[in-house]
A = this chain, B = another copy of it.
Amino acid sequence: MYRPELPDGENASLTSAISPDGRPETGTTYRVPPRCGVAVRMVAGQSIRVINTHGTQVCDFWAVCDGGPHEFLSMAHCHTETGGIMPATGDVLVSNRRRAMLTITADDSPGVHDTVIASCDWPRYQVLGCTEYHDNCADNFRMALIAIGEAAVHVPDPFNLWMNIPVSPQGRISWEVPVSSAGNSIVMRAETDIIAVMSACPQDITPVNGDALAPTELHFRIEA
């Protein structure tokens, strides 16, 4: 039986926590190592700046209510509440209980992000032909939580920052290279106490992280 808290394999996400409980130092720039995930605990009112350091790296982003893990940032509920599938500056992102979780307060990228695609996971890489374990965003989420003493009760559908997945008028999707540039960042203010998790997507088979098929690091900072 599938247990959502258990990763299918391991990587350095287990030892990449920013602190034992995930609490950050305000103003410090932290690194999300390539192919890994990192969690950060935020209190309501704090903002997080996620930085696309090298320009075309997708960040799978999640937020879980601190203290109530069955409530989390939900893309399907955001679609209703924002009236679209492409969140933009000013949009309030909501939980699966339609509570405000985060507000996008700034985004200096072209604003192309994805909200319809699940995180890559070990089953996905098996579909793509891998026979040995491949780093993946779902496991990075699980391990980033373990690294700060928490456990996933579910792997929510992510807010895929900078992921470029056009939806055609016929409802077809394609996997394209990001249109973001080095140093682009997005800022989101927490509207309740959350655990934010970021994964520097390790996808190196499709070009979602750029034509070089070379996943890179990301950075983030808690501001105010």
Contact = CB atoms under 8 A, between A and B. Distances in A.
Contacts of A157: 74, 76, 157
A28 interface: no
Contact of A85 (B83, B96, B97, B171): B171
Given A124-B98, A127-B81, A154-B154, A68 B173 contact: no
Contacts of A117: 76, 79-80
Nearest to A116: B79
A32 B157 CA distance: 29
A2 B127 contact: no
A45 interface: no
Interface string A1-28: 1111000000000000000000000000
The count of identical subunits is 2
Interface string A46-85: 0000000000000000000101101100111101110111
- Closest 7 CB pairs between A and B? A86-B171, A76-B118, A98-B123, A1-B68, A76-B157, A77-B118, A2-B71
19 contacts: A1-B70, A2-B65, A2-B71, A2-B96, A3-B70, A74-B118, A74-B157, A76-B116, A79-B117, A79-B173, A83-B172, A85-B116, A85-B167, A85-B171, A97-B121, A98-B124, A98-B127, A99-B123, A154-B154
Interface of A: 1-4, 65, 67-68, 70-71, 74-77, 79-81, 83-86, 96-99, 116-118, 121, 123-124, 127, 154-155, 157, 167, 169-174
